[in-house]
Amino acid sequence: MNKYDHKKIEKKWQKVWETKKMYRASDTSKAKKFYGLIEFPFPSGAGLHTGHIRSYAAMDAVARKRRAQGENVLYPIGWDAFGLPTENYAIKTGIQPAKVTKTNTDNFRRQLKALGISFDWSREVNTTDPEYYKWTQWIFLQMFKKGLAFKKMTHVNWCPKDKTVLANEEVIDGKCERCGTEVTKKDKNQWILAITKYADRLDKDLDDVDYLEKIKIQQRNWIGRSEGAELSFKIKGTEETITVFTTRADTLFGVTYVVLAPEHELVKKLSKNISNYSEVEEYIESLKGVAEIERTAEGKEKTGVVLKGVVAINPVNGEEIPVWIADYVLASYGTGAVMAVPAHDARDHVFALKYNLPFKPVLNPIHERPDVAGVKSFELKNKIVAIVEDGKGNILTINWKPELGGRLFVGGTVEQGELPQVTAIRELAEETGYTDAKIVDVSEETFTYRYFAHSKNKAFEAKTTFVHIRLNSLTQKETALEENEKNKFVLEWLPVDRARKEVKEILHVYGFAKFIDKQPFLGEGTLFNSQKFDGISSEQAKKDITKAVGGKMVVKYKLRDWIFSRQRYWGEPIPVVTCEKCGIVALPEKELPLKLPTIKEFAPTDTGESPLATLTKWVNTKCPTCKGPAKRETDTMPQWAGSSWYYLRYADSKNKKALASEKNLKYWTPIDWYNGGMEHTTLHLLYSRFWHKFLYDIGVVPTKEPYQKRTSHGLILAEGGEKMSKSKGNTVSPDELVALYGADTLRVYEMFMGPFDQAIAWNTSNMIGSRRFIERVYNLEENVVTKKKAPTDGSRKHLELIINQTIKKVGDDIESMGFNTAVSSLMILLNALEKEETVYRNEYEVLLQLLAPIAPHVTEEIWAELGNKKSIHTMPWQEFDPKKLQSDTWKIVVQINGKVRETFVSHTDDEEEVKSMVLLMDKIKARIGDKTPARVIYVKGKLVNIVVPGL
C-alpha cells in the first residue's frame, strides 16, 4: 500500500494545473458563463489566516462543480492593497508602503497557490498598480463632471490615532472601526460623493437580486428609507417655523413637545428669545467631539435642555408646546427637528420620563386573530384587564387550565353602565377574594381585539380597557364561586420578571407593558383624542392630517453622503487641481494615471493635512484650463475606492483603453455569485452597488446591479472563541497546517467544521479526522477492481441507492453552501464502499468526482493512478438516476400502544399490505391475544402502531 504523501501529490498537481493553464476563463466561449467572486483580500504582513480560506475554498468548490457541468467559469483573484494597515506597518518599520505591498502580495499568492484554489491568475489585479488606479481616478472624474463628487466644509469624524477622517460607516460605537480609538469631531473641507442621490434605487433594486434576506435587511436598514410627512410648527411671537419630518403624522394630536438638534440653525436665530441661552450654549459645547453614532446609540441615556421662552404651536389644534434641544436628534437626519409623542415613540418616551414631560395617547390598538379573516359581523363586548400588584414587586396571575387560556392577569366583562375601574375591582373580588385595593391608573385607550369563539360559533370584538391596581393588604375574603368554578384555575403571585415571561396572551402582555414596564404603544390603530379624526385608521390619518395642516408627503433616507477624502499617503491621488481663477479643475483624462509620488516621510501630520502637502514641487502645478498656477489635491481616496469596482476589471484586466471592454462586460456581468463576510454587507456592498449604478447611468456597464447573488459566511473564531485578529495575535496561518496535514485536509476541515453561514471556533486537533478521511479515500484504491464496472444484475442495488442519493445530496449541498453535510454524505458513501469486499472502478470514481471540488489534489492523483488520461477536473459532473433514489425495501418498526415490539424489512410500503403483514405476525398475535385493536396507525414506510385498549 502506497503511503499518502500530500506534499509530493499537491506540489505535483499544482505545477501541472499551472502549466496547462487549467483554470483560465474564455472571453469568447459559447458555453453558459459562471462568474464566481470572493472579496479580494487585503495583503497584510501576517499573510493568510484560516478565516480567509473558508470563503475561498467554498467558492472554489462551486466553481469546480460548475466547470464539471460544462460552464465557462471565471473565478478571479486580486489585492485590495491601498489603505491604513499597510501604511501603519510602513510607518512602524520605515519600509516604503509599495515595498511592503509587494512583499505581502507575493506571500499571499504563494499561500493561495499552495492551497490549490482554482483562481484564474491571468486576471490578477492590484489596486495600487497605476494601470489599475488610473481607472479608479477615471471613475472619480466622471462623478466630478456629473456633480456627484464635490468638496465642501463639513463636520467630520476624526480618528486622532490614525489621523484621518472617517466616514460615518467607519465609526462603530463611537470608535474607529480600524484601531478602536475614540472618535472626535472636526470641521474640514472634504471631498464627498453624493450616494444619497441613489438612495431610492439602492433600496428598491434589492427586490431584483438574489441576496440572503439578512443581507437585504442590513442594506435597507443602512439606507433607512422612510415615507412620511413634513409638518410645520410656528414659533409663537416670531416669523420662524420649525419643520419636522415624521413617519407618524397620525399621532400629531399626541405631540407634547418639539425637539431640535443642538446644531439646528434656529437655536442661534432664536438666541434673543431664549432666556437660558448660556445654559443652552454650555450644553451644545459639551456635545462637540461626540460622534453622531454615540449620541444615538441604543441604551445611551438621552439628555437635553429646554429653550425657555420659545413656544411652538401645534398646527392641528393650536396647542402651545415647549421646545427642547436634545442629543438624540441629529441635524444630519430628516430636518434636524422632531415632534415628540411620548405615548407612541420609544425615544420620546424615555426622554419624557426623565424630564417629567406629559404623555398624551391618541391611538387605540387593534389586533385580529387569523381565525376572523374575512369576517364582517362581530358581537361587541367591553372588557377589562387588570394588572394587580402587591406593593412588594409581585404581580397577581390566574393560572387557568390550558383549554381556558393558561396564565393570565385578572380580566372580565364590563356590565351595562359600569365603569371599567369598577369592573376591575368587582372581578378582583369575585375571582380572588382580594378587596382591599386601590386604583393606580386607568388607560385612556381601549384595545380592540377581534377573535372567533368556536364554542359559541360566533365572532367577537372586545374593546378592552386596562386598569392598574395596587393592594393595600393581602387579606382575602371567601369568593362566591362554585366549587367547579374554583377548580378551573389557581391564583399565583409571581415576581415581575417571571410574570413578564409566562403571561403571553396579547391583551394581557399589552397591559403589563403599559403599567409595569412603562412602554409606549408603537404600533398603529384607530385614532382617539384627535377631534374630527377620531375613529379613523392610522394609515388614513397620516394622509388626512398632513393635508389638513398644509404639510406634504415626502420620502427621507437615513443614508448620508459619503465622505470620500482621507488625509493619508497610501491611497489613490485625487486627480484635480485648485486654481485661484478657475476653481477646482479636473485633470485631462489623457494625464491619467496621476501617480502617487514616492515620499520619504509618509507618516500622517498633526495638522490634519496629508503628507503629500509637504511635497511642494509636486503640489505646485499648472491649471489645465487657464495654464495659470494651481495646486494639486493632497488628500487621497479611501480604501473603499479601489474595491468598489474591482470585479469589473477582472473581466478585462489588461485593457489599456478602458476599464474593461464593452464586449467583455456584456459577457461577464452581472456577477453570478458573490460570497463574502457579513461584516462587508453594508459598507462595501453599498458602495460598490452605488458605483456600478453610476457606471450604468453613463453607459459603461450593461446591468443595473453588479451582483445577481450574494451570500455570506460565518467567521472562523480563534480557538478561545474570540474573533481572529492580527492585533490579538490569535490568527492561525495555513502554512504549518498545509505542511503537516496537507492542503486537501485543510480544505475538507474548513468545509466540514460547521454550517457555512455560522461562526465557529477553530480547533486544529479536529483536523485529524479530516486527514483520516482523505487517507481512507486514498487507501480504498487497493480494493478497487479497475478493469470492471459494477454488475447490473441487482446484486449492488444497496450501493446504487447510496451512490445516487450522494450524487444528489452533494450537488444540492454545494449549491446551497451546505458544505458540512456534503462532506458528511461523502463519508457515508465511503463507509458503504469500505464494507464491500470488492469495489468497482465506476463506483469509486463517483466518490472521487464528488470529492474533487473540495479535495482537488488527492482526487486528481487517484484519478490518474486509475489510468485516466484526462484531468478529473475536466470530467462531466455525475448525474443521479431519479428512479434509484428510493429504496425498494423499508425497515418497519412495529409498536403496540406506543411501545416497540418488533422490526422487520418490508418489500412494499403500501399501507394495507404492511398492516396485513404486521397483524399476521406470530409475535404480534401472541401479544394481542383475543383483544381487538381499536386502531392501527401507519406512518408510511416507517412505523405501524397498534392501539389495543386494556392491554
104-141, pLDDT tens digit by residue? 999 999 999 999 999 999 999 999 999 999 999 999 99
Strand-pair partners of 244: 231
Place of cell 417655523: 241
| Tens of pLDDT, residues 407-417 | 999 999 999 99
Q: Is the pLDDT of residue 1 over 60?
A: no
Q: What is the pLDDT of residue 744?
A: 98
| Tens of pLDDT, residues 509-533 | 999 999 999 999 999 999 999 999 9
Q: Is the pLDDT of residue 481 over 90?
A: no
- What is the phi/psi pair of residue 437, to 5°? -125, 155
Here the cell at position 931 is 383483544
What average pLDDT does range 754-762 have in this prediction?
92
The mean-pLDDT minimum among 322-326, 803-807, 925-929 falls in: 925-929
Q: What is the pLDDT of residue 913?
A: 86
Q: Is the pLDDT of residue 291 over 70?
A: no
d(CA 62, CA 498): 49
Query: Residue 8: which residues within 8 A CB-CB, separation 6 or more?
Result: none
What average pLDDT does range 915-921 have in this prediction?
90
DSSP, res 566:
B
Q: Is the pLDDT of residue 652 over 80?
A: yes
Q: Is the pLDDT of residue 500 over 80?
A: yes
Q: Is the pLDDT of residue 293 over 80?
A: no
Please count the residues of the chain.
951
Rounding to the nearest 10 degrees, give the CA dihedral for residues 932, 935, 936, 942. Answer: -140
- Torsion 540-543-549-555 (CA) sign: positive
- What is the phi/psi pair of residue 325, to 5°? -115, 145
Q: What is the pLDDT of residue 936?
A: 93
Q: Is the pLDDT of residue 922 over 80?
A: yes
d(CA 874, CA 452): 63
- Which contacts of 422-428 are long-range, i.e. CB under 8 A and separated by 24 or more positions? 423/384, 423/467, 424/384, 424/386, 424/467, 424/469, 425/469, 427/384, 427/386, 428/386, 428/388, 428/469
What average pLDDT does range 263-289 have in this prediction?
93
Confidence of residue 788 (pLDDT cuts 50, 70, 90): confident
pTM over 0.75: yes
Higher per-residue pLDDT: 33 or 45: 33
d(CA 245, CA 934): 68
What average pLDDT does the structure give for the chain? 93
Higher per-residue pLDDT: 386 or 481: 386
Confidence of residue 332 (pLDDT cuts 50, 70, 90): confident
Confidence of residue 169 (pLDDT cuts 50, 70, 90): low
User: Which of 792, 791, 880 is closest to 829 using CA atoms?
Assistant: 880
Exposure b/e, 125-156, CB count within 10 A at least 16 = b: bbbbbeebbbbbbbbbbbbbeeebbebeebbb
Higher per-residue pLDDT: 372 or 132: 132
Confidence of residue 90 (pLDDT cuts 50, 70, 90): confident
- Torsion 659-660-666-672 (CA) sign: negative
Confidence of residue 889 (pLDDT cuts 50, 70, 90): confident
What average pLDDT does range 366-371 have in this prediction?
90
Q: Is the pLDDT of residue 845 over 90?
A: yes
Q: At what angle do helices 97-114 and 84-93 cross, to 10 degrees?
A: 120
| Tens of pLDDT, residues 388-406 | 999 899 999 999 888 777 8
Q: What is the pLDDT of residue 627?
A: 96
| Tens of pLDDT, residues 581-637 | 999 999 999 999 999 999 988 888 777 788 999 999 999 999 999 999 999 999 999
Q: What is the pLDDT of residue 268?
A: 95
Q: Is the pLDDT of residue 475 over 70?
A: yes
| Tens of pLDDT, residues 667-726 | 999 999 999 988 888 889 999 999 999 999 999 999 999 999 999 999 888 887 777 766
Exposure b/e, 40-74, CB count within 10 A at least 16 = b: bbbbbbebbbbbbbbbbbbbbbbbbbbbbeebbbb
Confidence of residue 425 (pLDDT cuts 50, 70, 90): very high
What average pLDDT does range 463-483 have in this prediction?
89
- DSSP assignment of 245-271 equals EES-GGGGGG--EEEE-TT-HHHHHTG
DSSP, res 131:
H
The mean-pLDDT minimum among 75-79, 190-194, 291-295 falls in: 291-295
**Cα–Cα–Cα angle for 514, 516, 520, rounded to 5 degrees:** 30
| Tens of pLDDT, residues 21-39 | 999 999 999 999 999 999 9
Q: What is the pLDDT of residue 890?
A: 83
CB contact at 8 A, 361 and 268: no
